[in-house]
A and B are shown apart, each in its own frame.
Chain A
Amino acid sequence: MTAPLAIELVGIDKRFGSVRANKDIDLKVAKGSIHGIVGENGAGKSTLMSILYGFYHADGGEIRVDGRPVTIADSQAAIALGIGMVHQHFMLVENFTVLENVILGAEGGPLLAGGVARARATLKRLAEDYDLKVDPDAVIEDLPVGLQQRVEILKALFRGADILILDEPTGVLTPAEADHLFRILKVLRDEGKTVLLITHKLREIMAITDEVSVMRRGEMVATRQTSKTSMGELAELMVGRRVLLEVEKQPASPGRPVLQVENLTARDGRGVDVVRDVSFEVRAGEIVGIAGVSGNGQSELLEAIAGIRPVRSGAVTIDGTRLDLARHPVDAAAMRRHGLAHVPEDRHRMGLVTSFSEYENAILGYHRDPAYGRGPMLDIGAIREAARVEIEKYDIRPPDCLLRTAGFSGGNQQKIVLAREIERDPVILLVGQPTRGVDIGAIEFIHKRLVALRDAGKGVLLVSVELDEIRALADRVLVMFDGRVVGERAPETDESELGLLMAGAAQEAAE
C-alpha cells in the first residue's frame, strides 16, 4: 500500500476485568479513504473506537496518527489530533439548541456573544457545503433522531475534524437519509478527509467504503478491499458461518382483526399534531409494517396505541374491545391487560431499566401479574425461575439472570425485551425498531420469532426505519408521511416506489 496512513493501530489490547475486548488489534487506515469496520455486537468495534477517541486507554499497543506515535489521553487530545466522533447514542445536551450544542467545549472565550456569531456563520457554511440543513436555534429534544445525528456530524466538523469516526450512523436513518449521509461522506473523502465507518450493515459497506476490516470476538479477522469482496464473504467472516439475509416465511393467512385504529390523532411534546387522523387494522396472523422516514409520526403512533402517549382524538379496538382513548385515557398497564404487548423503539429509555438485574427487567410492566407473587409481595424465586426459562428459550447470553442489564450486548438486551413481551402471549404485539443496534445473529433470531408469533395467529404491528426489514417481514406495508398514512403497498413493491411514498410524493401529487 503506497497511500500515506491517517491512522495506524499496532497490537492494541484492552481488557475489562476478565473480558478481553480487544486482542492484539492491527489496523491501517489510508488517508483520504472511507474505511469500514464491521462485526457483531460485542465484537469490540466500539471499544476500539473509544480507545482511538481517548475514552478508554489501551492496556498495550501503539496508536499512530499521520505516522507519528501518539498517546490519546482524553477526547480533547483526540480532537486536537483532528479526530472527530459521531456516537451511536448521541452526546447532546437535550435542552440546549443546536448552536449551543455545536459550540459546547469550543465556545471561544469566556463571553459567548463573539463565539456564537462566528459559530453561526461557520454552521451556515458547513450546512451549505455538505447539505446538512438544521435550524441552529431548534432545541435538540424537539428534533427527530435523524436531525440530531446531523448535529453530531456538524459538531465534529465544527471542531475541524480530519478523521471522522461514525459509530452505526445509519441505525436511525431512512434509506434516503442514509444515501444523503453517504453523499456527504464521499464529499468529505474527496476533500482528503478520512472516514471510519462502524456498522452492522453490509450493504452500506459495499456501497460506500474503499476498504473494510472485519472484527470478531475482539479480534481483527480480516481486511479486504471492498471492490474485491462480497456481502456473503463479509457476513461469513463476521459470524464465522453463513447467515440468511432473507427471512423464510409462508404466505400469511389473516383472520379476525385484533387491532383497529380509528382516526387517531396525537401530539408531541411541543403540542404539534404528529399523528394525524390515522386509521388502519391489523388482523390475527399477519405482520403489518409501517415504513417511513424517521420523525414522521411512527414512533408517536406506537406510543399512542400502547397507552404511553396521550391521544387527542380517535379510538383503538383491541380484540373486539373498543377503547375511546381521547375521552377515557388508558395507561400502558391497562393496554397490557387487554392483550397488547409492546417492544418499544428505545430499549435504553423505555424497554429496560439498565441498572436493574436481568430478572427484574423480565417482569417490567407485568410486575402486577399474580404469577409473580401474592398480594403486594413479589416472589423473587418464581421471577428468577421464569427469567431463567426465557433466557434458555431465547438464548440470551450470558445466561445469568442476576447480571445487570447494562452488562448485556445490544442484541441480548433486545432479546430480553422480546422474550418478556412475546412470552405473555399477547393478541397483538407492537414492535418498534426491533433490530436497531443488534448484531446479525440476533437479527435472524428476532425475525424468526416475529414470524413464529404471526404463524401462531397473533397480530404484529412493526415500525422500522429499515426498509429491508419491513419488506422482509411484513405482509402489508403502510407508509407514513407527515403524521398520516399515505399509502398501503405489498411488501414486494419496488423499493424506489416505497421511497417516493416515504418522501411524500403521493401527498404532493394529490395537492
Chain B
Amino acid sequence: MRAGQLPRWADYGLMPAINVVAAFLVSGLVVLLIGENPVEAVRILVWGALGWNEGIGFTLFYATNFIFTGLAVAVAFHAGLFNIGGEGQAYLGGLGVALACLALDRFVPWWVTLPVAVAGAAAAGALWALVPAYLQAKRGSHVVITTIMFNFIAASLMVYLLVNVMAKTGSMQPETRTFEAGGRLPLLQTILPGVDFGSAPVNLSFVLALLSCLLVWVLIWRTRLGYEIRTFGASPGAAVYAGISPVRITIVTMLISGGLAGMMAINEIMGSQHRLLIEFVSGYGFVGIAVALMGRAHPVGIILAAILFGILYQGGAELAFEMPAITRDMIVVIQGLVILFAGALEHMFRPLLLRLFGILAAPASKPA
C-alpha cells in the first residue's frame, strides 16, 4: 500500500457505507427536530422498501431508472467528461421508445418491438448528446454548460411535440395514445414464476439494466475503446502521445453516455406508463450523477447505489404516508443529504480513514 491510498475494499465499500451512515445520522437529527422518532422513521422506510413484495418491486423499478442514468454519467466520467444532460437525453429517449411502440404495437409482439425501441431510445439519447459533444470536442464549449442547456431545450421540444404533434386526437392531455400489447414489456413477475411483486411495475427492463452494467464493464475494462476512454480521462497528454484522438473519444463517449441515459425511457415508457407523457424523467437524470459518484463509476457500485436510491424513493413514499409529519419534501431532504454526503462531501472522511489505516498498518508491519 502506498501513502495516501486506501485498500481497494475500503475505497469501494467502506467509504460509501460511512457516507450513507453519516447521511442517515444527519437525517435522523432532522426527523428529531420535527418531533418524530427517527428510529421508527428508519424502520418504516426500510420496511416500506424491502419488507413486502410490492415494496421490493417498486424499489427495483426505481433502481432500474437509476442504473441507466448512473451508467450514463459513469461512462462519461471515465473519459473525464461530466455529462449533466442525462435528464434531457432520457427525455428524448422517451421519444425514441414511443415512436417505435406507436409504429409497431398493433402489428407485432413486444419482443419484436423491444429491439427497435432500445435502438430508438439509445439513438435519440445519443443524438441529444451529440451536439454538446461536438461543441466540446471541436470548439471547447464545456459539456457541463451545454448539456445543462440541452436539458431545457429537450423539455421545451417535448412539450411542443406532445401538445402539438403527438397528442391523442380529442384529448387535452399532453400525451400519446396508450400502447397496445405489442408496445408493452412484460412484468418481471410474469416472466419469473413464483415471484409476486403485486402492482409494482418492475419489468423486463431491470434485466436489461443489469445486462447494460455487464456491457459497460466489458466496454471500459476489456475493450480497446474503453482503454482509450480511460487513458483520455486520466491523462489527456498521454492520450495524444498514444495517438488517441481527443475529438473522437469525446464524441464517442458522449454518444454512449447519452444512449445509456436514453435507455432509461424503456423502463418508464415501455415498461410502466405505456404511453409517452410529459416530464416522465422527473429528476432521474440528475440523481444518476449521485449514483455514479457513489458507485465509484463502477457498474457493481452503480447497481448498489441505484438500489439504495430505489429504497429511498420507495421507502420515502411509504414514510410520507405513514408519518404525516414527514412530508414528501422531507423525503427530498433525506435524499439530498445522501447526495450531499456521497457526492459533494465524498472525501470528508477520507483523511480520518487514512490515518486510521496508517495506525493499523504500522504495528502489523513491525515484525517485517
Q: Verify A380–B222 contact, CB threshold 8 A.
A: yes
Distance of A346 Cα from B238 Cα, bound (Å): 10
Encode A390-431 as 1/0 by CB contact (under 8 A) with B: 000000000000001011000000000000000000000000
Q: Verify B242–A332 contact, CB threshold 8 A.
A: yes
Q: A355 near B: Cβ within 8 Å?
A: yes
Q: Verify A378–B224 contact, CB threshold 8 A.
A: yes
Q: A373 near B: Cβ within 8 Å?
A: yes
Q: A336 near B: Cβ within 8 Å?
A: yes
Q: A367 near B: Cβ within 8 Å?
A: yes
Q: Verify A353–B231 contact, CB threshold 8 A.
A: yes
Q: A360 near B: Cβ within 8 Å?
A: yes
Q: Verify A404–B227 contact, CB threshold 8 A.
A: no
Q: Given A332-B242, A360-B227, A376-B224, does the pair A353, B1 have CB atoms closer than 8 Å?
A: no
Q: Verify B231–A364 contact, CB threshold 8 A.
A: yes
Q: Verify B238–A350 contact, CB threshold 8 A.
A: yes
Question: A336 is contacted by which of B222, B243, B245 (Cβ under 8 Å)?
Answer: B243
Q: B368 near A: Cβ within 8 Å?
A: yes
Q: Verify A59–B234 contact, CB threshold 8 A.
A: no
- A-chain residues with CB within 8 Å of residue B9 when the two chains form the complex: none
Question: B241 is contacted by which of A15, A342, A372, A373 (Cβ under 8 Å)?
Answer: A342
Distance of A419 Cα from B230 Cα, bound (Å): 22
Q: Verify A367–B241 contact, CB threshold 8 A.
A: no
Encode A294-305 as 1/0 by CB contact (under 8 A) with B: 000000000000
Encode A51-73 as 1/0 by CB contact (under 8 A) with B: 00000100100000000000000
Distance of A373 Cα from B235 Cα, bound (Å): 23
Q: Which residue of A lies closest to B362 (CB)?
A: A15
Q: Given A332-B241, A407-B2, does the pair A377, B231 have CB atoms closer than 8 Å?
A: no
Q: Verify A367–B237 contact, CB threshold 8 A.
A: no
Q: Which residue of A lies closest to B239 (CB)?
A: A353
Q: Which residue of A lies closest to B241 (CB)?
A: A350
Q: Verify B2–A15 contact, CB threshold 8 A.
A: no
Shortest A402–chain B CB gap in Å is: 11
Distance of A360 Cα from B238 Cα, bound (Å): 12
Q: Verify A364–B238 contact, CB threshold 8 A.
A: yes
Shortest A408–chain B CB gap in Å is: 10
Q: Given A332-B242, A367-B242, A376-B224, does the pair A349, B237 have CB atoms closer than 8 Å?
A: yes
Q: A386 near B: Cβ within 8 Å?
A: no
Q: A352 near B: Cβ within 8 Å?
A: yes
- B-chain residues with CB within 8 Å of residue A42 when the two chains form the complex: none
- A-chain residues with CB within 8 Å of residue B224 when the two chains form the complex: 367-368, 372-373, 376-378
Q: Verify A16–B223 contact, CB threshold 8 A.
A: no
Question: A378 is contacted by which of B222, B238, B362 (Cβ under 8 Å)?
Answer: B222
Q: Verify A18–B368 contact, CB threshold 8 A.
A: yes
Q: Given A335-B243, A336-B243, A364-B242, does the pair A404, B2 have CB atoms closer than 8 Å?
A: yes
Q: B361 near A: Cβ within 8 Å?
A: yes
Q: Verify A350–B225 contact, CB threshold 8 A.
A: no
Q: B171 near A: Cβ within 8 Å?
A: no
Distance of A334 Cα from B244 Cα, bound (Å): 10
Shortest A329–chain B CB gap in Å is: 11
Q: Which residue of A lies closest to B7 (CB)?
A: A17
Shortest A506–chain B CB gap in Å is: 33
Q: B207 near A: Cβ within 8 Å?
A: no
Question: B240 is contacted by which of A59, A308, A334 (Cβ under 8 Å)?
Answer: A308
- Give residues of chain A (328-375) contacting chain B, Cβ–Cβ below 8 Å: 331-336, 342, 344, 346, 349-356, 360, 363-365, 367-368, 372-373
Q: A307 near B: Cβ within 8 Å?
A: yes
Encode B238-274 as 1/0 by CB contact (under 8 A) with A: 1011111100000000000000000000000000000
- A-chain residues with CB within 8 Å of residue B364 when the two chains form the complex: 18
Q: B228 near A: Cβ within 8 Å?
A: yes
Question: A18 is contacted by which of B222, B230, B361 (Cβ under 8 Å)?
Answer: B361
- B-chain residues with CB within 8 Å of residue A344 when the two chains form the complex: 241
Distance of A15 Cα from B365 Cα, bound (Å): 9
Q: Which residue of A lies closest to B228 (CB)?
A: A367
Q: Which residue of B lies closest to A372 (CB)?
A: B224
- B-chain residues with CB within 8 Å of residue A351 when the two chains form the complex: 238, 241
Q: B172 near A: Cβ within 8 Å?
A: no
- B-chain residues with CB within 8 Å of residue A364 when the two chains form the complex: 231, 238, 241-242
Q: Which residue of A lies closest to B368 (CB)?
A: A18
Q: Which residue of A lies closest to B240 (CB)?
A: A308
Q: B352 near A: Cβ within 8 Å?
A: no
Q: Which residue of A lies closest to B219 (CB)?
A: A376
Q: Verify B245–A331 contact, CB threshold 8 A.
A: yes
Q: Verify A17–B3 contact, CB threshold 8 A.
A: yes
Q: Given A367-B224, A406-B2, does the pair A332, B235 have CB atoms closer than 8 Å?
A: no
Distance of A185 Cα from B231 Cα, bound (Å): 41
Q: Verify B1–A378 contact, CB threshold 8 A.
A: no
Q: Verify B241–A333 contact, CB threshold 8 A.
A: no
Distance of A344 Cα from B240 Cα, bound (Å): 12
Shortest B5–chain A CB gap in Å is: 8
Q: Verify A353–B245 contact, CB threshold 8 A.
A: no
- A-chain residues with CB within 8 Å of residue B362 when the two chains form the complex: 15, 59
Q: Which residue of B lies closest to A47 (CB)?
A: B3
- A-chain residues with CB within 8 Å of residue B226 when the two chains form the complex: 378
- A-chain residues with CB within 8 Å of residue B361 when the two chains form the complex: 17-18
Q: Given A15-B362, A377-B223, A404-B2, does the pair A353, B243 have CB atoms closer than 8 Å?
A: no
Q: Verify B368–A16 contact, CB threshold 8 A.
A: no
Distance of A18 Cα from B245 Cα, bound (Å): 41
Shortest B34–chain A CB gap in Å is: 41
- B-chain residues with CB within 8 Å of residue A372 when the two chains form the complex: 224
Q: Verify A353–B234 contact, CB threshold 8 A.
A: yes
- A-chain residues with CB within 8 Å of residue B238 when the two chains form the complex: 349-353, 364
Q: Verify B3–A353 contact, CB threshold 8 A.
A: no
- Give residues of chain A (116-161) contacting chain B, Cβ–Cβ below 8 Å: none
Q: Verify A367–B2 contact, CB threshold 8 A.
A: no
Q: Verify A377–B235 contact, CB threshold 8 A.
A: no
- Give residues of chain A (173-211) contacting chain B, Cβ–Cβ below 8 Å: none
- B-chain residues with CB within 8 Å of residue A15 when the two chains form the complex: 362, 365
- B-chain residues with CB within 8 Å of residue A380 when the two chains form the complex: 222
Distance of A235 Cα from B157 Cα, bound (Å): 73
Distance of A377 Cα from B215 Cα, bound (Å): 12
Shortest B225–chain A CB gap in Å is: 6
Q: Which residue of A lies closest to B365 (CB)?
A: A18
Distance of A349 Cα from B242 Cα, bound (Å): 12
- B-chain residues with CB within 8 Å of residue A365 when the two chains form the complex: 241-243
Q: Verify A308–B241 contact, CB threshold 8 A.
A: yes
- 14 A-B pairs within 8 Å (CB atoms) are namely A18-B361, A307-B243, A333-B242, A333-B243, A334-B243, A336-B243, A353-B230, A354-B235, A364-B241, A365-B241, A365-B243, A376-B223, A377-B223, A378-B227
Q: Please provide the 10 A-B residue pairs with the shortest distance between their CB atoms, ordered closest to farther.
A: A333-B243, A332-B243, A365-B242, A17-B1, A18-B365, A350-B241, A16-B3, A349-B237, A353-B234, A353-B235
Given A18-B364, A350-B238, 13 further pairs, Cβ under 8 A: A59-B362, A332-B243, A344-B241, A351-B238, A353-B230, A354-B235, A356-B230, A356-B231, A360-B227, A373-B224, A376-B224, A377-B224, A380-B222
A interface residue numbers (CB < 8 A to B): 15-18, 56, 59, 306-308, 331-336, 342, 344, 346, 349-356, 360, 363-365, 367-368, 372-373, 376-378, 380, 404, 406-407
